[in-house]
Amino acid sequence: MKIKIIPIVSDMKSLIINEIFYSIQGESLNTGQPTVFVRLTGCPLRCNYCDTEYAFNEGRKIIFDDIFKIIDDYKCKNITITGGEPLAQKNIHQFMQKLCDSKYIVSIETSNALDIKLIDNRVTIILDIKTPGSKEHNKNLSDNYKFLKKKDQIKFVICNIEDYEWSKAYIEEYKLTTICTILFSPSSNEMNPQMLAEKMLSDRINARLQLQIHKYIWGNIRGK
């Protein structure tokens, strides 16, 4: 009698992970919430103000099952996918779908340089539109804006007054305030937060000031 062997099937899809850590969300509309961050390796951009250059090349391949084991141990439902540029890895869409199916509350921090149309509708998108101060503003994809949902967020990192004025004009050109919430974030050690706040108040701009509170708590420490 021939015995039929049924193989044990495991999800062997993987991502190249730079780090997974548990911290306080320092940005976005979820500021202050305990969150598990999954930082992916790799980024096609080289923004002037980047504070995670270590994620450009450093990382290791981890299969989905093992990523979930790490995440599950934190007993936290808020997950933020970040980078680098997480959309640069082809398996990210399936991974986010799997997270959502597992009842996690998922957000993704992504540059505006790659197509967002395949992102699961259950995922909150924080789209970082690049300003001239980043030196990468020519990579912005305006086609992405039609795929944004009301719960999503658009972020501008403001490096100087020129960036501020450019962002105001850009918001008006693409009618971004009709799409979702706009965030203005002063670039660390470049744009004075008080000056930015006063400009926003003076202009009565329809945007929210965002400070990176994790840096106020821990400084620019990796994994925080």
Structure confidence at residue 216 as a pLDDT band (50, 70, 90): confident
Long-range contacts of 197-203 (CB under 8 A, 24+ apart): 199/161, 199/164, 203/168
Question: How far is residue 77's CA from residue 42's CA, in Å, rounded to a whole number?
Answer: 25
Confidence label for 5 from pLDDT (cuts 50, 70 and 90) = very low
Note the pLDDT tens digit of each residue in 12-61. Answer: 899 999 999 999 999 999 999 999 999 999 999 999 999 899 999 999 99
pLDDT-derived band at 163, boundaries 50, 70, 90:
very high
The residues near 91 (Cβ < 8 Å, ≥ 6 apart) are 13, 14, 15, 64
Provide the mean pLDDT of the chain: 93
Helix (H/G/I), strand (E/B), else coil: 37: strand
Write down the residue that tokens 């050109």 correspond to.
173
Domain boundaries, the chain: 14-218
Question: What's the pLDDT at 59?
Answer: 97
Q: What is the pLDDT of residue 11?
A: 54
Residue range 14-218, CATH number: 3.20.20.70
CA 59 to CA 91: how far, in whole Å? 15
Per-residue 3-state assignment (H helix, E strand, C coil) for 197-216:
HHHHHHHCCCCEECCCHHHH
pLDDT digits (tens, 9 = 90+) for 80-125: 999 999 999 999 999 999 999 999 999 999 999 999 999 999 999 9
Return the biggest CA–CA distance within the chain.
85
Write down the pLDDT at residue 3: 43
Distance CA 144, CA 113 (A): 9
